[in-house]
Amino acid sequence: MSSRLAAILKGKIAIPFFLLFLLFCVAPFTYGQDRVVKGRVTGADNLPLEGVSVVAVQSSKGTVTDREGRFSLRLPATDAMVIFSHLGFSSDTVRVKDEMNVVLSSQNNAASQLNPVVVVGYGTLRKRSVTGSVGVVSSESMENQAVRDVGQALQGQIAGVQVTQASGNPSSSPTITIRGLGTFGANPNPLIVIDGIITEFGLQDINPDDIDNISVLKDASAAAIYGSQGANGVVLVTTRRGRKGRSDIDVSVYAGQDQVSHKIPVLNATQFATIVNGYYVNGGSAAPFANPSSYGKGTNWQNEIFRNAQKENVSLAFRGGSEKSTYSVGLGAAWTDGIVINSKNTKYSLSVNNDIMPLKGLKISNTFLGSYSVEKEGNSQMAVSTAMQYAPTIPAYKPDGSFGIASQTGEPITINAPLVEALIPVNSYGYTRALDNLALEYEILPGLKFRTEGGLEYYQQNVTSFIPSYNYGLGNQVATASLDRNISYAYNLQTNDLLTYNKVLGDHSFDALAGYTFQSSRNENLEGYRENFSRNDPNLQVLNAGSANDKARGNISEWDVQSYIGRLNYAYKNRYILTSTLRIDQSSRFAASHRTGYFPSFSAAWIVSDESFMRDLRGLSFLKIRAGYGKLGNQNIGTYPYQASVSPGLNYVFADNVSSGYAPTGFVNENISWERTRTTGAGVDANFLNNRLRFILDYYDRFTSGILLQVPIPGITGVSSNPAYQNAGEVTNKGFEFTVGYGNMGEKKDLTYNVGVNFTYNHNQVTSLESDESLIYANTRTVKGQSINSFYGYVMQGIFQNQQEISGAARQTGAQPGDIRFKDLNHDGVISDSDRTFLGSSMPTKSFGLNGQVRYKDFDLSVSAVGEWGAWGLTQDNGFDINRAGEQNAAIFLKTWTGEGTSNNFPRLVAGDPNNNGRASSFYLARRDFFRLKNVQLGYNLKTRSSSVLKRARIYIAAQNLFTITKWPGFDPELSNLTSTYPMYRSLYAGINIGL
Amino acid sequence: MKKITIFFAFLSLLAGAGCNKKLDQQPYGVVPVTNFYKTQADALAGVTAVYHRLQNFTFGDVESGFDCWPDLLSPDVESHQDFTALRQVHEYDATTDNAVVDSSWITLYNGVYLANQAIEQITLMPDNVFDAGMKSRLLGEVHFLRAFYNFRITMLWGQAPLVTKTLDLNNLYLAKSPRQDFFNLVEQDLLTADSSLPASYTGADVGRATKGAADAYLGNLYLWENQPAKAADRLQSVINSGIYGLVDNYASLFDGTNENSKESVFEIQFKANTGLNVGNAVSWLNAPNGEGMVNGGGWGWLRPTADLVNEFETSPKEDPRLSASIFRKGDVFNGIVFQDLVNGSGYANKKYIVSAGMEPNFPWYASVNETIMRYAEVLLLYAEALNQQGRPADAVPYINMVRARPSVAMPALSTGLSQSAVLTAIQHERRVELCLESKVGFDLRRWYGSNLGTYMHSKGYSNFVEGKDDYLPIPQSEIDKSKGTLTPNTGW
C-alpha cells in the first residue's frame, strides 16, 4: 500500500484527486464543521465577472458572483474543490482557500472546456451534468474560419453532424444532417432554435459574428424536450449579449477573392467535332463537321463564365453593460461576388440584444436579429450546365462583339449559349428576415423562476425574374419579354411560459422545468406575371409596363403546435446524474383523434473519475459515462395531409372560354400521425494527462418508425402522382462517434496547440416498409434491408468488343460492338429487368473532421479538414450524357469506344441508343468520397499596451477549400448534382479583428 | 412582488388562451370534399376536370396536346434522335422502364379516375339541383370521356386493369382484363352517351361531346370488333344527321383558323394567353428543331419519314395534302427556310404548327385545337364498314368525297374496284388524309392483325416481334408496385 501511495504521490496529476480522496475519507468525521470561503473572480483583463457559477465539487453547494465579481459561500469542511464556470469562459476547478482570487480565461479552446455551461433546450446545464449527447461550437472556432454562413461553421466540428454545401451560390445555406438520414418521408432537417425561438427559416443570413455558441443536441435524451420537432436533432444558436461592467467595440473586416474550386476537363473543338461526327455516323446520318482539325482548341466555356470574384465583409459590434442593463449591437455587411459572372450577393444584418434588470429578481430581455440580403444574377446555374453542353467549336464572341451562337448541324442549336444564360436574364432574390423575442424572467422565490417570452419571426422572399426580349441567333431568341414577381412571406409566432426550480439539499440537487409553449406559423404567397414589354429598360421591369398575358397566383397555409414540457435533472453527490424529460405535443397537421403525441426521455450519467476507487488511476483526469433513451417525433409533412379536399386547376376550354375544373387529386388517410424516433445511446467522456488528452465516444441506435411517407400507389388508381401520406416505414441509423483531442491550449506557454479529430460511422438501413412497399424511382429505391435511396439498376460488365462477344453473352436486345455489356445476374441467358440489383448507397457511411490550432507567441495557425466515404452519386448530367452525345463536352468522351480494344469502360456513341446504354446502371455511378482541406488561417496578434484604447488586434490571411482529393468527376462531391449546379469556390482572403 | 407574480400569471394565461381551437385548421385554396358536389355548378366543374385530361393523355402534366404513340408505332413518323424513350419504341428496342410509356399509363388512368369520380358523385346528387336534362347530359359526357380513355388504354396495351370505379387505399390492385372486357365497357359507355347527349351545342357549350361523336367512336369500335353492319349503322347516322360536312380548305383544319368547323366531330380545345395552363404545346414540340419557326425554337420531337412522304400521289399532280401536312427542305414558313439543321429525316411535321405571327402575344403555347374525329374520317370509316360487308361499289363514293375536297381535288376512284382494291384505297386514303393525326399505328393493327410483323419487316423494322410489339410494355414500375397482380405483356 505504501509503495503504491508513493507512486501516486509521484504523479503530480493525481495529487488533487488524492487530496480529494483524503478529504472524502475524513468527511464523516468532520461533517458539520462548515467554513466560509470568499473570493473574487475576474477575467484575464482583471475586470470583475458577474454571474459566475461557483459550485463545490463535493457538496454541490453553490452561489454566483455579484457585480464586483465577489462571492461568499459556506461550505462543509469536506469540500476541497470549487468549480468556477461562466458562459464564454473556461471553467476552473480550484482548491478551497479562505480567500480565493480566481482569474477565468476567455473560452477559446477545448482543453479547458471541461465545465463550460452548455445551452440545452429551454435552459442551460453545466457540461458536467449533461447526460445526453451534445456538441458545442464556440464563437472562437467560427472566427478562425470566417465563414459565409453559420451552417458552414459546423462542418467537421462535431462528430455525427454532417454539413453539406449543396451549392456554391453566395446566397446558399448548407444542409445539416445529424446522425444520418432518419426519414425518407417528412422533412429530414434538424430543428433550428435561435435564442429560445424555433425558427422555420434555417440559418440563412444570420451573421456568424453575432453568434456566441452553437449547441447541437444529437440524441433523443437531449432533444426530446423538443418532441415532435426534434427527431432529426436540434441546433441551438445563442447570440452574443453584453456583459456587465464592460464596454467593448469589436471590428472585424476581411476581403478576398473566390474562384471556382475545380474546372471539369472538357473536349477541345477538334476533339468535340470528331466525336460528334462519330455519333451522327453511328446513327446513320452524315458527319456534320467536314474538317474537325480546322477548329483547333476552340472555346472552353467554363473559362468564359467563371471568374475571380471579389468579396468584402465588415462586422461591427458594441457590447457592454452596467449594473442594471446590458446591451449588444451588431452590424454586419457582406458583399460577395459569385464565381459565375454577373452574380452578386449583398447582405446586411443588424442585431440588438438588451437585458434590463429593473428590480431585484426581475430581468427583461429582448433579442432582435434582422437581415436583408439580395442575390442578383442571370441564370447562373443554367450557364454552368450549358457550359458543359455548348460546343467548343463556337467562339465565345463573334468578331463584331456579339455572342457566338451555334449555327450548324452538330452544334447545340436549341439551347441558350452559356454567356446568354449568364448575362441576359435579370434575376433578383431578396430575403428579409427579422426575429424578435421579448422575455420576462422573475425569481419568485430563491431557486424558483418564471419566464415568459413571446417571439415573432418574419421572413420574406422577394423574387424578380425578368426575361428580356432578344435575338442572338438559333436557340437564343425570345420574342416577347416577360416579368415574374413572386413574393412569399411567413410569420412564425411563439410563446413560451416556463417555470424552473433548482434546489440543493445536502448531496441532492434538483433542477426542474415545467412549461407551456404554443407555435403558430402562417405562410402566404403572391405571384404576378406579365408579358410583352416593349423595351428591356431596367426602369420598365415592373408589371405595369407589360401589356399581355397577366397571371396572378397566391395561396396561404397555416399550422399550429401546442405543447406541454417538463424536465427533471437530479444529481446525487454531483456525480450520479439523472435527467428525464417529457413533451406533449398537439399539432394541427393531424386529425383530432391522432393529434396528441407523448415524447419522453430518460438519461443518466456517472462521473466515474470522482469515485474513490478511481483516484489511483494514474493519468486519468476525468471520466464520465452516459446513457440515454428517448422518443421524438416529426410532423413536417405539409399542412393538411389528413383532410379530403377538392382541388381547382383542372381546367378546360369550351367555346374559347376557360372553364374551371375541380376534382379530388389524391386519396387521403385520416389516420396518419407523427413519425416516431426512438434513440438509445451511450457514451464515454474521458480526459487524461491533466485534461490534455480528451476522448469522447458515443454509440447510438436511432430507430424511426411510422415514417410519414407518400407510399407509391399503382398508376391504375389515377392518383399515383399524388399518393396519400401513410405511416409506413421504419429506418434505423446505428453508429459510432469518436472524438479525440490533444493539446495544451490555455496553458501559459509560448507554444500552445490543440488538435482534434472526430470520426463518425453511420449505418443506415430501412428495416420495414409497410406491406413491403418499395419507394421506386428511376435510379434509386428505398426498400427493406437497404439504405434510403439506394441506387438500383444493371451492372456494367465492360464493353462488347466484337460480335463474337455479343453472341457468347446473354441475349441483350439491340447490342452492337461498342455497347455496354450488362451482367446476367440471374443466369437465364437474357438481360431483363430481373437482372437489376442494388448498386450503392447514396449516403456516406463514414465521415471525419480534423481541427488543429497552434499558437506560438503572437502567431496562431488554424487548420480544418473534412472527409466523407461511402456515398455514390449519379453521373448522368449535362456534359456527361451519352444519350445526347451531340451536345456534351466533358473530356470523358475521349474514352469512347471506337473499335475493338479501344475502351472497356465507355460505350460507343450512337443516336437512338439501340442497346439502351443509358439505362440505370453502374455505368452512371461514381464514388463521392472526398477529403478536403477546408480551412487554413494564419494570424498575428499585435502587441497592445494595457493602457491603450486598442485592447486587441489580430491580422490574418486565410484560405478556404484549398484542395479536395476525390475521384468524383463533377464540380464538387458535396454538391447535389454533377454539373447542373452552382459550383463550389476556393477562397483566399485576409482580414483584421480589432477589439477596442 | 405579489403584483409582479399576478402580472406574470395573467401574461401566461393570455399566451395560452384560445390555442386549442387553432389546432383545427382548414386548408386554404381547396374545398373540403364534404362541401362539394352540391350544386349544378359543382357538377359542371367536376365534368370539366374530366375533359381537362384530354389536353394531355400521353406525357407528363406540362406538355399539353402531345400525342405520339399511334404515329410512332407505324412507319410514318420517327422521333428526334435525342429523345431516346420515343426513339426506342419506334425502333422496337424499348425496355419496360420507358419513361414516356410510364407517363402515358399514369395520365390515361388519371382520365379514367376523373371520369369514375364524376360519374359516382354526380349520380349521387339529387335530381332537383339540376336544370332539366342536365344531369343525364353531364353523365353522358363523362361516359363518353371514360370510353375514350379506356379505348386508348386497350389500344396501347391490349390487356390492362379495367377500372370501373374509384379505388381507395384499401383497394389498390386489379389484375388485367382481356381486351373484350374493355370493348364491352367502351360500348356500354358510348351507348349511354349516345342516348343522353345532344346532337350539337350552341354558345358557351361548344366543344362538349355530342351524340355524333359517340356514334363515330361506336362506329370505330364496331370495326375493331369486326361488326361492320353495326359500324355502318352508327356512321351512317352521323352522315345523315346533316350537321357535318367537309371544309373546303384542308390546311385550315390544322392551323387554328377554322376551329369547331362543320368537319369537327370531336375536337380537343386549347386556348393560349390565359395563364391557366390550357394552351397547346405541340407547335413548339413538333416544329423543326431549333430553326426558329415558332417561339421556343421548335424541338422536332416527331417528324414524318420518307416512307410517309412517298405514300402521297404525285400524278396527275402532287397530292396537295402533302405540302399542307409536311415541311420539306427549302419550304418557307413565316419567312424562315426549313433547313433540317438537326439531321432528321429531311421532313418536318406541319400539322398544328402555328407561327409566332399567328399567336403574337404568347411566346410558346398556342391556341390551336386538335380535331381528333373529323367528318372526313367518319366518311372513310363508313367506306371501310361498307367494303367489309362486301359492298365495295357503295364504299368508293365516300372515299371520293374525301378526295374531292376543293383544296385537294384528287381524281375520283372507279366504283368498279374489287373489295381488296377498295381496302387498299381506304388504307392509302386514311394514311394521307389523316397523316400525323395519331391514327395510322392503330389502323395498321386493325388491318393487319397477326400479320403486322410481315408488314413492319417489309418497312425495315427488323426488330419488330410479332405478338409482342403489337402493344407497349406494361411499365416495369407498375408491375413492381402491383404486388404481383400485374403481369408483363406477352414477349416483354
Residue B97: is its pLDDT beyond 90? no
CA-CA distance, A671 to A668, in Å (whole number)? Answer: 9
Structure-block grid coordinates of residue A448: 424558483
Pairing mode, if any, of strands A620-634 and A596-607? antiparallel
Structure-block grid coordinates of residue A689: 494527462
Q: Report in angstroms the alpha-carbon separations of A789 from A768, A923, A968, A975.
A: 14, 18, 19, 17
CA-CA distance, A541 to A376, in Å (whole number)? Answer: 14
User: Which has the closest alpha carbon to A836: A919, A924, A714?
Assistant: A919
pLDDT of residue A29: 37
| Angle subtended at Cα A598 by Cα A592 and Cα A603, rounded to the nearest 5 degrees | 170
pLDDT of residue A127: 77
Interchain CB distance below 8 Å, B276 and A659: no
B126 conformational bin, left if phi > 0, alpha if psi -120 to 50, beta if neither: beta
Q: What is the DSSP string of B238-267?
A: HHHTS-----S-GGGGTSSSSTT-TTEEEE
Find residues 247-286 of chain A whose CB sits inside 8 Å of chain B.
280, 283, 285-286
C-beta of residue A413 within 8 angstroms of C-beta of residue B342: yes
User: Which has the closest alpha carbon to B151: B221, B210, B102?
Assistant: B221
Q: What is the DSSP string of B441-488?
A: HHHHHHHHGGGHHHHHHHTT-TT--TTTTTSPPPPHHHHHHTTT---P
CA B76, chain centre distance (Å)? 18
B477, B483, B487, B489: best to mutate for the A interface, most A CBs within 10 A: B477
CB atoms under 10 Å from CB of B332, counted, come to 10
Structure-block grid coordinates of residue A364: 427583461
Report yes or no: A445 at the B interface, CB cutoff 8 Å.
no
The CA distance from A405 to the nearest CA of chain B, in Å, is 12
- In B, minimum Cα distance to A814 occurs at B93
- B111 contact residues in A (CB cutoff 8 A): 718
C-beta of residue A589 within 8 angstroms of C-beta of residue A558: no
Q: Report in angstroms the alpha-carbon separations of A486 from A427, A480, A530, A553, B45.
A: 11, 20, 12, 9, 28
First-residue to last-residue Cα distance in chain A: 57
pLDDT of residue A116: 67
Pairing mode, if any, of strands A234-239 and A191-194? parallel
Interchain CB distance below 8 Å, A452 and B276: no
User: Which has the closest alpha carbon to B322: B333, B313, B335?
Assistant: B313
CA-CA distance, A639 to B238, in Å (whole number)? Answer: 51
User: Which has the closest alpha carbon to A841: A759, A780, A767?
Assistant: A780
Residue for cell digits 439491340? A814
Residue for cell digits 459510432? A736
Using CB atoms within 10 A of its CB, is residue A11 exposed (0-12), middle (13-18) or buried (19+)? middle
CA-CA distance, A887 to A30, in Å (whole number)? Answer: 88
Q: Report in angstroms the alpha-carbon separations of B481 from A766, A773, B175, B419, B491.
A: 18, 7, 12, 48, 20
- B463 contact residues in A (CB cutoff 8 A): 813-814
CA-CA distance, B440 to B444, in Å (whole number)? Answer: 6
Cα-flanking dihedrals φ and ψ of residue B431, to 5°?
Answer: -65, -35
- B99 contact residues in A (CB cutoff 8 A): 778
Q: Report in angstroms the alpha-carbon separations of A149 from A236, A323, B268.
A: 15, 34, 52
CA-CA distance, B383 to B392, in Å (whole number)? Answer: 8
3-state helix, strand, coil in chain A (%, to 5): 15, 50, 40
Using CB atoms within 10 A of its CB, is residue A701 exposed (0-12), middle (13-18) or buried (19+)? middle
CA-CA distance, A705 to A693, in Å (whole number)? Answer: 39
Count A/B contacts: CB-CB distance under 8 Å.
Answer: 306
CB atoms under 10 Å from CB of A807, counted, come to 10
Report yes or no: A663 at the B interface, CB cutoff 8 Å.
yes
User: Which has the closest alpha carbon to A913: B73, B100, B468, B93?
Assistant: B93
User: Which has the closest alpha carbon to A534: A598, A606, A480?
Assistant: A480
Residue for cell digits 362543320? B262
pLDDT of residue A12: 41
pTM over 0.90: no
- B117 contact residues in A (CB cutoff 8 A): 663-664
Of A283, A520, A661, the CB nearest to B52: A661
Q: Which long-range contacts (CB under 8 A, 24 or more apart) does B323-328 make?
A: B324/B250, B324/B251, B324/B254, B324/B350, B324/B407, B325/B254, B325/B349, B325/B350, B325/B351, B325/B435, B325/B436, B326/B350, B326/B435, B326/B436, B327/B288
pLDDT of residue A773: 56
User: Which has the closest alpha carbon to A846: A872, A873, A871?
Assistant: A871
- Could you give the 3-state DSSP secondary structure of residue A380? helix
Segment (H or E) for B105 = helix B99-124
Report yes or no: A515 at the B interface, CB cutoff 8 Å.
no
C-beta of residue A769 within 8 angstroms of C-beta of residue A761: no
- Residues in CB range of A55: below 8 A, 6 or more apart: A61, A62, A82, A83, A85, A126, A574
| Angle subtended at Cα B51 by Cα B50 and Cα B54, rounded to the nearest 5 degrees | 110
- Walking along chain A (996 residues) 10 residues at a time, the average pLDDT comes out as 42 40 37 72 73 77 80 80 74 77 61 60 80 80 72 78 78 79 72 89 87 86 80 88 87 94 94 91 84 94 96 93 91 94 95 92 94 94 93 95 89 89 95 94 91 94 93 82 93 93 88 92 92 87 87 88 92 90 89 87 91 79 91 78 84 94 88 86 90 91 85 89 84 91 83 90 83 64 84 93 93 90 93 89 89 90 91 91 85 92 92 84 93 91 78 90 93 87 91 90
Using CB atoms within 10 A of its CB, is residue A957 exposed (0-12), middle (13-18) or buried (19+)? middle
- Could you give the 3-state DSSP secondary structure of residue A722? coil
Largest CA distance in chain A: 107
C-beta of residue A175 within 8 angstroms of C-beta of residue A152: no
Residue for cell digits 379514367? B112
User: Which has the closest alpha carbon to A608: A173, A17, A156, A90?
Assistant: A17
Cα-flanking dihedrals φ and ψ of residue A882, to 5°?
Answer: -70, -20
pLDDT of residue B6: 60
Cα-flanking dihedrals φ and ψ of residue A448, to 5°?
Answer: -105, 115
User: Which residues lie across from A622 on neighbouring strands?
Assistant: A687
A285, A524, A716: best to mutate for the B interface, most B CBs within 10 A: A716
- Residues in CB range of A841: below 8 A, 6 or more apart: A764, A786, A787, A790, A791, A870, A871, A872
Residue B28: is its pLDDT beyond 60? yes
Interchain CB distance below 8 Å, B42 and A911: no
The half-sphere exposure of B235 on its side-chain side, counting CA atoms within 13 A, is 27
User: Which has the closest alpha carbon to B264: B252, B277, B279?
Assistant: B252
Of A362, A646, A912, the CB nearest to B33: A646
Of A283, A713, A884, the CB nearest to B172: A713
Rounded to an integer, the average pLDDT of B224-239 is 97
A431-435, A686-690, B274-278, B385-389: least confident range: B274-278
B1, B5, B20, B25: best to mutate for the A interface, most A CBs within 10 A: B25
User: Which has the closest alpha carbon to A312: A337, A335, A346?
Assistant: A335
Find residues 100-159 of chain A whose CB sits inside 8 Å of chain B.
none
Structure-block grid coordinates of residue B132: 332539366
